Structure 1
Amino acid sequence: MPLVALSFPVIDPVAISIGPFAIRWYALAYVVGLLGGWFYAKRLAASTRLWDGLRQPKPLDIDDLVVWVALGVVLGGRLGYVLFYNLSAYLAEPLEILAVWRGGMSFHGGLIGATLAVILLSRSRGLNTLAMLDLVSVVAPIGLFFGRIANFINGELWGRPAPDFPYAIVFPHAGPIPRHPSQIYEAFGEGLILFIVMAFAANRFGFRRPGLVGGIFILGYSIARIACEFFREPDEQLGFLFGTTVQALSGGITMGMLLSFPMALLGIAVIWIAARGTTRPATLASA
């Protein structure tokens, strides 16, 4: 047994309840993340220095962007979970795809959905698409932080067994074995630390080389996710990928890792292309 085995704190997953109306912590985390991102994005959009000649989005554009991205995250996150993590089960019961209140969201699917939403809005408003993706990348860690905290409150997505870790937690639905609080690791790695990195990148580079800041986010998230996956229990229906031999050699390859590897390569490629100035509009290239 570990030196200290912490019991999971008793937290009601419902934050506010008035009669039949209930607001869960998970939903509240989405709301807080979106509102925080909206407030921060407005400040970034208003800074002429960051845009360096590129067309700045108007306040109304940011208001609409939040709605579009929210829809993209929810739809993409749900479809991503269905396709990447549990396709066979949902093919057997297709109506379960609509039961989002039972859980099941994929960050990588949500990222694709949010990206498509930004592309569509940017093109409809005549804004630079890559610069707008940069903007969203800077504020995204806010939602990631609160989302992972909500995962912890819900007692889901727990970590791997850690009998020798002094601050392991016994999660209520994960048996009697103390486990890593991997949700907290992800909240700090994918949320707080990445937020600091992105704030520094935005202040240092601005959006003058469209795609550069977004590439940093893609690479940074991939590194944080892969590192945290070494402490996170893989999804029950998937387990570790590629058999026991690879698991013994690597500590276990998970679907989260598998999806993040090409994402990291994409981030490196985008950074390299944007750093050369290739993505800057020709009319502003010499500015």
Structure 2
Amino acid sequence: MLILSAAAAVHEPIHWVDLGLKTGIDLGFFTLRYYSLAYLAGILLGYWHLTRMIKAPGAPLAQRHADDLFFYCTLGIILGGRLGYATFYTGGDTGIPSLWLHPGELLSLWNGGMSFHGGLIGVMLAIAWVSWRGELNFLRVADYIAVCVPFGMLFGRLANFVNGELWGRVADPSLRWAMVFPDGGPLPRHPSQLYEAALEGLAMIVIMLLLFWKTRARYRPGLLVGVFTTGIGLGRFVVEFYREPDAQLQDFAMRTGLSMGQWLTVPLMVLGLIIIARALSKPPLAAGRPVPA
């Protein structure tokens, strides 16, 4: 009876190829990839929402600043993500030649390879540049951008799933949503792209929108960016337990006990908690100005 019950509990896993997903739209002379469309959709939706946010009371920037941020943050995402990949995921013991030794390949975006942490650094540098040039409060501008970033995280992870890439670790056969991916071998795996889309994307969208529109969090400089940094870091740390480490970094994960993504996420969470504590320790602003003593 136990054997029959166990056999009944094991079911046929989902095969990714049976979902009929395509990686892009074939235009005949060119394939418009959904991964590129995901980046574009995230940036455009973020820009649209930013223009709505700055119309609410207490905005620390004007429309012209939002336009500048749209341009420079886009550069920061692309360049930072690519340079971060070259720094953290190539060279050393990874088994992949360092992209820093082949600068021309850094521009070969179609070959893949983008780092979230690198893109985050690129965005922060873009915010710093626009804030300095426009004499804006860096933390308050970062708060507004932090609310918009999860849109891109959601679309990006969904695009990873559509591409059948960045699949998770081998899963228990009884897991009903376990999937067999084309390049993941015959065993069912966790669809970790969807886990990331849920935690880093959808959950953070709900949290950040509620904090901005339903509370006075935007009047505490740094609170929104602190919540975003902590939330994204925690979500990524948890998902990494189900995500298959990059092939070139599996030995690193075995030696250290944590994946490269988790090690890079720890300082993010610590920094986020520090920023939250600092924001809550100071009096809130009123209509964008300090509350009189």
Residue identity opposite 2:54 in structure 1: A
CA distance in 1: counterparts of 2:282 and 2:73, whole angstroms? 27
- Contact 2:284–2:290 (CA under 8 A) maintained in structure 1: no
Q: Could you say which residue in structure 2 is the equivalent of 1:63? A: 67
Q: Could you say which residue in structure 2 is the equivalent of 1:222? A: 233
TM-score normalised according to structure 1 size: 0.89
CA distance in 2: counterparts of 1:37 and 1:211, whole angstroms? 19
Q: Could you say which residue in structure 2 is the equivalent of 1:187? A: 197
CA distance in 1: counterparts of 2:237 and 2:48, whole angstroms? 29
Q: Could you say which residue in structure 1 is the equivalent of 2:269? A: 264
* 1:11 to partner: Cα distance: 2.0
Q: Could you say which residue in structure 1 is the equivalent of 2:224? A: 213
CA distance in 2: counterparts of 1:105 and 1:145, whole angstroms? 15
Equivalent runs, 1:247-286 vs 2, <5 Å: 247=257, 253-277=258-282, 284-286=289-291
Match of 2:122 among 113, 123, 127: 113
Q: Could you say which residue in structure 1 is the equivalent of 2:180? A: 170
Q: Could you say which residue in structure 2 is the equivalent of 1:122? A: 131
Partner of 2:14, secondary structure, is strand
Q: Deviations over 1:100-146 (max 9, x none)?
A: 11110010100000000011011111221111100010011000000
Q: Could you say which residue in structure 1 is the equivalent of 2:78? A: 74
* 1:232 to partner: Cα distance: 0.2
Q: When the two structures are aligned, how many residues end up with a matched partner?
A: 274
- Contact 1:205–1:213 (CA under 8 A) maintained in structure 2: no
* 1:60 to partner: Cα distance: 2.4
Q: Could you say which residue in structure 1 is the equivalent of 2:14? A: 6
* 1:91 to partner: Cα distance: 4.6
CA distance in 1: counterparts of 2:69 and 2:102, whole angstroms? 33
CA distance in 2: counterparts of 1:113 and 1:279, whole angstroms? 29
* 1:87 to partner: Cα distance: 2.7
Partner of 1:119, secondary structure, is helix
CA distance in 1: counterparts of 2:229 and 2:247, whole angstroms? 27
Are positions 1:199 and 2:204 aligned together? no
Q: Deviations over 1:20-71 (max 9, x none)?
A: 23311000001111111011111111101xx2xxx63222221221111110
CA distance in 1: counterparts of 2:132 and 2:203, whole angstroms? 31
Partner of 2:179, secondary structure, is strand
Residue identity opposite 1:69 in structure 2: C
Q: Deviations over 1:56-91 (max 9, x none)?
A: 322222122111111001100000111011134125
CA distance in 1: counterparts of 2:291 and 2:172, whole angstroms? 59
CA distance in 2: counterparts of 1:261 and 1:22, whole angstroms? 38
Residue identity opposite 2:238 in structure 1: A
Q: Deviations over 1:233-281 (max 9, x none)?
A: 000001153645x64xxxxx10110000111000000111111127979
Q: Percent identity?
A: 39
CA distance in 2: counterparts of 1:67 and 1:22, whole angstroms? 25
Partner of 2:32, secondary structure, is strand
- Contact 2:229–2:269 (CA under 8 A) maintained in structure 1: yes
* 1:206 to partner: Cα distance: 3.6
TM-score normalised according to structure 2 size: 0.87
Cα 1:84–1:280 shift into 2, 3 Å: farther
For the pair shown, the structure with the greater C-alpha radius of gyration is 2
**Runs of 5+ consecutive residues of structure 2 not aligned to the other structure:** 1-6
Segments of 4+ moved more than 6 angstroms: 278-281
CA distance in 1: counterparts of 2:162 and 2:254, whole angstroms? 32
Residue identity opposite 2:193 in structure 1: Q
CA distance in 2: counterparts of 1:206 and 1:91, whole angstroms? 41
CA distance in 1: counterparts of 2:130 and 2:231, whole angstroms? 25
Residue identity opposite 1:68 in structure 2: Y
